[in-house]
Structure 1
Amino acid sequence: MKEFRPGAYDRLEKSLHDIRTELADLPRAVLMISAHWEADRFWLSSAARPPMYYDYAGFPEHTYRIRYAAPGEPYLAETVRAMLEHGGMPTGLDPDRGYDHGTFSLMHVLYPEATVPLVQLSMKKDFDPAEHIRVGELIAPLRDQGVLIVGSGFSFHDTRGILSGAGEVASATFDQWLDETLVDSKSPERRRRLIGWSNAPAARAAHPREDHLIPLMVAVGAAGDDAGNRVYHEQTFMGAITASSYRFGEAPVGVPIP
């Protein structure tokens, strides 16, 4: 079994700090598509002060006392709901949904001040890649309105493979395909490849269940024709796992691309 070594998250943490540096100005709000919210339709958290949602069990007691106190943004939630409904997507507002760890673990590093308004968007539990890409296309105008759209998941998500070390080859194989898809492919080809992602090399070994991959589909849809850039990559995450993160669109002028 692979041990969770000290510093295991250092490079990932740095990549989140780099995102903040690249953005320079604080976004008006963040729209987070979390791998930890599945529903029968595309729900949006709509509370002005969302609670916490500890969607895990068996962890140390202090992990259930984590607080991320960023305000919600009911107006943004309603705006997104209207955009999706207009595009024919079943949608709803959830005033009770709290911040899950797919959201607060990233946001606490990215914006620890917890002052940027935050709305979560659920995945639809059928995990249809084309439908989630379409959701991204419908909400793409938000990018020009100061809203940062984030797909929160993991490029390799087989817990047994991480702990046993058996995911070393599968993660590297799928990561290479993912990089070819997101960085080297033009928008139409990128979309085609993602819709057929389950045919990729080591696809089901990397994602036995695609909950951690689907948030990417929304981000890609919102990206339009913007090129993908790999902003985080390591081949020894948790000892042996290859993992990557991506940004779509160029960094602001004067900020070097990692």
Structure 2
Amino acid sequence: MKQPVFFLSHGGGPWPWLDGPFRENFAWLEASLKALLAQLPEPPRAVLAVSGHWEEPEFTVSSAAQPGMVYDYFGFPEHTYSIRYAAPGDPALAGRVRELAAAAGIAMGDDPARGFDHGTFSMMQPIRPEADLPVVSLSMKQGYDPAAHFALGQALAPLRDEGVVIMGSGLTYHNLRVFNARAAEPSRQFDAWLRHALLDLPPEDRAAQLMRWEAAPAARLVHPREDHLIPLMVALGAAGADPATCIYSQADLFGGITVSSWRFGEDVSATGFDRLAA
């Protein structure tokens, strides 16, 4: 059966390994991630994670059988620099990703040393704490061309029929210089624009709208650097004409920031983690 595609918020830093107020900001996100595998039509073979924390001169896929860790954050407690998400990789899946990309004329590099960055392990820890589901990482391409990432998603769509769940990992608001109540209105405006594009427009129009994301309200304040938005373009390409459902939203992250996560797939039902739904 065809697996759905996701664009997910991965939260902040190594939050699943923390306690206290910082962790509490992500309680609603955590609940939505814990519920994710139950939405699948059958148990997945593997996850292909497109992280907003990995970019290369060309698209690159991780091919390690046992990926290590990339501690790509700073200022967190000492113990978070020795945590481990011990999921296996899947070299065969990495080879299939390269094969599909090549068939579409898309250059794809291979990195046998790449480990899990926090865009992947902080997302996967609540989803599959047993860490027994193979995870392969896929980079963004420098320059962040939305159309190039959308085309890659289209090329990788056959994986959905092969038991692979494609997950774009980022954040619908990502401006670390304005990560407080001052972000309330711009994040709300951008999220409302995104919600309209994904829920109200036909597939061809929603894709065209997302290719022009810089025209959205407050776009460059919300995403001064679009690394956390571009994984959505891969997910959107892989989704084809499948409908979208908001599977997580909140308007009070860190004092008022609006963020959301999305699922693309047929026969989608509400999951109860969209606080903004009518």
TM-score normalised by length of structure 2: 0.88
The answer on 1:188 being equivalent to 2:201 is no
By how many angstroms is 1:4 displaced?
A: 5.0
Q: Could you give the per-residue CA deviations for residues 110-167 of structure 1, whole angstroms, max 9, x where no partner exists?
A: 001111111000000110000100000000010111100000000000112114x221
* Aligned partner letter, 1:242: T
- Give the corresponding residue for 1:22: 39
Q: Could you give the per-residue CA deviations for residues 83-107 of structure 1, whole angstroms, max 9, x where no partner exists?
A: 1122111111100000000000010
Does the C-alpha gap of structure 1 residues 243 and 13 become closer, same or farther in structure 2, counting only changes over 3 Å?
same
- Give the corresponding residue for 2:249: 233
Q: Could you give the per-residue CA deviations for residues 175-220 of structure 1, whole angstroms, max 9, x where no partner exists?
A: 0000011111111101100110001111111100000000000000
What SS does structure 2 have at the residue aligned with 1:160?
A: coil
* Aligned partner letter, 2:24: G
Contact 1:71–1:117, Cα closer than 8 Å, also in 2:
yes
Contact 1:251–1:257, Cα closer than 8 Å, also in 2:
no
* Aligned partner letter, 2:187: S
Distance 2:204 2:184 in 1: 30
Distance 1:17 1:105 in 2: 12
What SS does structure 2 have at the residue aligned with 1:205?
A: helix
The answer on 1:105 being equivalent to 2:122 is yes
By how many angstroms is 1:26 displaced?
A: 2.5
- Give the corresponding residue for 1:211: 227
Distance 1:199 1:14 in 2: 32
Does the C-alpha gap of structure 1 residues 133 and 46 become closer, same or farther in structure 2, counting only changes over 3 Å?
same
Distance 2:163 2:189 in 1: 36
By how many angstroms is 1:58 displaced?
A: 2.5
RMSD (Å) for aligned C-alpha atoms: 1.5
Equivalent residue in structure 1 for 2:77, among 53, 60, 65: 60
- Give the corresponding residue for 2:188: 172
What SS does structure 1 have at the residue aligned with 2:179?
A: helix
What SS does structure 2 have at the residue aligned with 1:55?
A: coil
Contact 2:245–2:270, Cα closer than 8 Å, also in 1:
no
By how many angstroms is 1:229 displaced?
A: 0.4
Contact 2:172–2:191, Cα closer than 8 Å, also in 1:
yes
Aligned positions, number: 253
Distance 2:159 2:41 in 1: 18
Identity of aligned residues (%): 50
Where in structure 2 are the equivalents of 1:1-258 lying within 5 Å? 7-23=24-40, 25-163=42-180, 165-250=181-266, 257-258=271-272
Contact 1:23–1:251, Cα closer than 8 Å, also in 2:
no
Distance 2:244 2:178 in 1: 27
* Aligned partner letter, 2:79: H
Contact 1:4–1:238, Cα closer than 8 Å, also in 2:
no
TM-score normalised by length of structure 1: 0.94
Does the C-alpha gap of structure 1 residues 140 and 238 become closer, same or farther in structure 2, counting only changes over 3 Å?
same
